[in-house]
Amino acid sequence: MAGARQSGAVTPGTDLSLRARELRALHDAVLSGMRPSTAPPVRDLVVRSWRRVMAVGLDADANNAREPLPLSEVERRRTGSALALVIEELRHVLTSVADASTYLMVVTDADGVVLWREGSSRVRLQADSLGFTEGARWTEQTVGTNAIGTALAEAAPVELFSAEHFEQAQHPWYCSARPIHDPRTGDLLGVVDVSGPALTLHPTIRVLVESAVRLAEARLGDLHRERLDRLRRTAEPLLAGTRGPLLVVDDLGWVAHHSGLARRDRVQAPREHHALAIPGLGTCLPERLAEGWLLRPGAAEGRMSAVLDPAERVLQVDAADGPWRAPLTARHVELLRLVAAAGETGVTAADLSTAVYGDADHAVTVRAEMSRLRRTIGALVESHPYRISRDVSLSVAEGP
């Protein structure tokens, strides 16, 4: 049943009416448990999606539940999304072409919730009857195989045609979707989709969507650089009277300015009252600026003590700028105790793997857990090897 992978749902010259009829026959046969003996096969991508959707228990003959979020929640998600910064760029690319009146531009967040939807009133009315509206969650688990939900599940661009959709109500449609990412972090921001009547699909649609996403991601990169430049300029009056090595970074740790040490693009994201260990600076307590953070040495030296309470699974820290506490997982408590017991010589990932799992084969897992632990408690734990920072006095509370 599985066919060769291809980037689009149709190739140039495909008879769309014939292919739609073939897919409907294949869809009905596969979902009824029959083995199709004729017609071109269903693509591997579609087979995987149908299997996931059938495992969830959705009904292909019904319009599965659509419960759009309230408009207030949609507005909250729009406001909090970086995609709001580039929605005009997406509109310009996707709605300015001659045949834009035959399709919808849809932009979702990383949860698959439709945040923006634009197109002709005729196509929007058709989409309304399908529940393809702002606030609707367009994931595989909710509405079956569709380009948005399947792009989220596959973490890849997806184009679907006619009965490649799981729900029969979606068979009159095509959809071409592509994930869009934050160029600063690589994090998924959402999905950009173009959808319209199936028999109007053209192979250039997926190229149009790809171009829109690439331009929007490039614009997000430009905006990031502009924000760093603004942060550097804002900090200049303060830096004029500051001596010694330092960094000025944004809330994600991207470096806007460096002085007295080798250039680096990014450090760990600062958190108030949480010390950071920065090569060339040592242990620093981040100092808040109007739009970022100042990192410089000496602010935290000899000023931190910490108590690990294994029973409560919490680390209580007394720092120069005030106390703070960090809830820990049971695994992080175990790892922190082992690191503390190793003393100044420290311990390797292989050593921790042996202590926790009985062998050294889980070193990769240990490194991942230690990375999560260090994001929680900052510079209290140094790496290479793992050890408690020299600027921290750590004690372990005894149980009852």
Rama region for 217: left / alpha / beta (φ>0; ψ in -120 to 50; rest): alpha
Domains and CATH numbers, the chain: 2-222 (3.30.450.40), 242-295 (no CATH), 304-396 (1.10.10.10)
* Predicted confidence (pLDDT) at residue 9 exceeds the cutoff of 90: no
Q: Return d(Cα 183, Cα 82) in angstroms, integer.
A: 11
343 is written with which tokens? Answer: 């003393």
Spatial strand order in the sheet of 314-319: 322-327, 314-319, 304-309, 392-396
User: To which H or E segment does residue 281 belong?
Assistant: none
* Predicted confidence (pLDDT) at residue 88 exceeds the cutoff of 50: yes
Contact (CB, 8 A) for 79 and 183: no
* ω into 385 cis (within 30 of 0): yes
> Would you state the pLDDT for residue 1?
38
Q: Return d(Cα 194, Cα 178) in angstroms, integer.
A: 9
Residues 318-353 as b/e (b if ≥16 CB within 10 A, e otherwise) read ebebeebebebeeebbbbbebbbebeeebbbbebbb
Contact (CB, 8 A) for 154 and 177: no
Cα–Cα distances (Å) from 238 to 164, 187, 233, 258, in that order, read 60, 33, 10, 13
Range 266-271 average pLDDT: 84
Q: Return d(Cα 149, Cα 152) in angstroms, integer.
A: 5
Range 1-11 average pLDDT: 58
- The pLDDT tens digits for 335-383 are 999 999 999 899 999 999 999 999 989 999 999 899 888 878 876 888 8
Give pTM, 2 decimals. 0.74
- The pLDDT tens digits for 201-241 are 988 899 999 999 999 999 999 999 999 999 999 888 888 87
- The pLDDT tens digits for 170-212 are 999 999 999 999 998 889 999 999 999 999 998 889 999 999 9
> Would you state the pLDDT for residue 320?
62
User: To which H or E segment does residue 42 belong?
Assistant: strand 42-43
> Would you state the pLDDT for residue 392?
82
What band does 265 get if pLDDT is binned at 50, 70 and 90?
confident
